[in-house]
A and B are shown apart, each in its own frame.
Chain A
Amino acid sequence: MVLQDKLNALLEKYQINKDVQISSDNKIIIDGKEIPLLPWRHERQFIELKNMVRDGTLADISTIKACRIDKKNVDLNHVIYRELDLCQWFTGSEVVEIMAFKNSRTANIIAKLENGVICTVEAAVTLCEEAVPIDKHEIISKRGIACDRVVDTQIPQQSVYVYENHKHPTTYTDVDFELFGLNAEDVAFIRQAIEVAKNDSLTAELIESANKLNQLIVLTDLSAEKVCNMKVGRKE
Chain B
Amino acid sequence: MKPLKIAMMSMTHGHTRKYYQVLKENVNLDWVAVSTANDEVKKLFLNSVDNIPCYDSDEEMLDAHPEIEAVIIASENSEHLRQMKLCAQRGIHILSMKIPSFDMEEYDEMIDMVEKNNVVCQIELELHYNPVVTRIKELVKSQNIGRILSFQATNVTLSPVWAFPWQGIPEKSYGKRIPLREGEHRFRGGALCDHPHIFDLVQELTGSEFDTIFAQVAPNIRPDIEVEDMLTVVGKMKNGTVFSLDPSWSKMEERIKVPGPGWEVFPKRMEVNIIINGENGTIMADCFGPNVYHNGAPNDRYTVRYTYFDEWVGLMDEFISNIRNHTLPKIHLRRHKKTIEAMNACYESIRTGKPVKLS
Expressed in whole angstroms, the minimum distance between the Cβ of B153 and any Cβ of chain A is 10
Interface size class of B (residues with CB under 8 A): 35 or more
| Contact pick for B291, options A110, A116, A145, A152, CB 8 Å | A152
Interface pair A65/B234, CB less than 8 Å apart: no
| Contact pick for B234, options A103, A120, A141, A145, CB 8 Å | A120
Interface pair B216/A112, CB less than 8 Å apart: yes
A102 at the interface (CB under 8 A from B): yes
B252 at the interface (CB under 8 A from A): yes
Q: Which of the segments A13-21, A80-88, A124-132 contacts the partner chain?
A: A124-132
A104 at the interface (CB under 8 A from B): yes
Which secondary structure dominates where chain A touches chain B? strand
A142 CA / B250 CA spacing, docked (Å): 9
> What sequence of 0s and 1s flags, for each residue 195-229 of chain A, a beta carbon within 8 Å of any chain B beta carbon?
00000000000000000000000000000000111
B149 at the interface (CB under 8 A from A): yes
Interface pair B242/A99, CB less than 8 Å apart: no
Expressed in whole angstroms, the minimum distance between the Cβ of A91 and any Cβ of chain B is 12
Expressed in whole angstroms, the minimum distance between the Cβ of B251 and any Cβ of chain A is 8
A38-83 residues with Cβ-Cβ distance < 8 A to B are 60-63, 65, 67, 69
Expressed in whole angstroms, the minimum distance between the Cβ of B213 and any Cβ of chain A is 10
Expressed in whole angstroms, the minimum distance between the Cβ of A86 and any Cβ of chain B is 17
Q: Which of the segments B89-97, B133-141, B169-177, B218-226 contacts the partner chain?
A: B218-226
Expressed in whole angstroms, the minimum distance between the Cβ of B192 and any Cβ of chain A is 14
Which secondary structure dominates where chain B touches chain A? strand
List of B residues within 8 angstroms of A102 by Cβ: 242
Interface size on A, residues (CB 8 A): 42
List of B residues within 8 angstroms of A110 by Cβ: 214, 216, 232, 234
List of A residues within 8 angstroms of B289 by Cβ: 152
Interface pair A127/B232, CB less than 8 Å apart: no
A107 CA / B240 CA spacing, docked (Å): 11
Return 15 A-B CB contacts under 8 Å, by A number: A60-B221, A63-B218, A69-B277, A99-B216, A108-B234, A120-B246, A126-B278, A126-B280, A126-B282, A134-B282, A140-B248, A145-B251, A154-B285, A227-B236, A229-B353
B contacts, CB < 8 Å to A? 149-150, 152, 212, 214, 216-223, 230-232, 234-236, 240-244, 246, 248, 250-252, 266-268, 273, 275, 277-282, 284-286, 289, 291, 293, 304, 353-355, 357
Sample of 4 further A-B pairs with CB below 8 A, known A110-B234, A118-B217, A124-B149: A108-B150, A124-B282, A154-B286, A229-B354
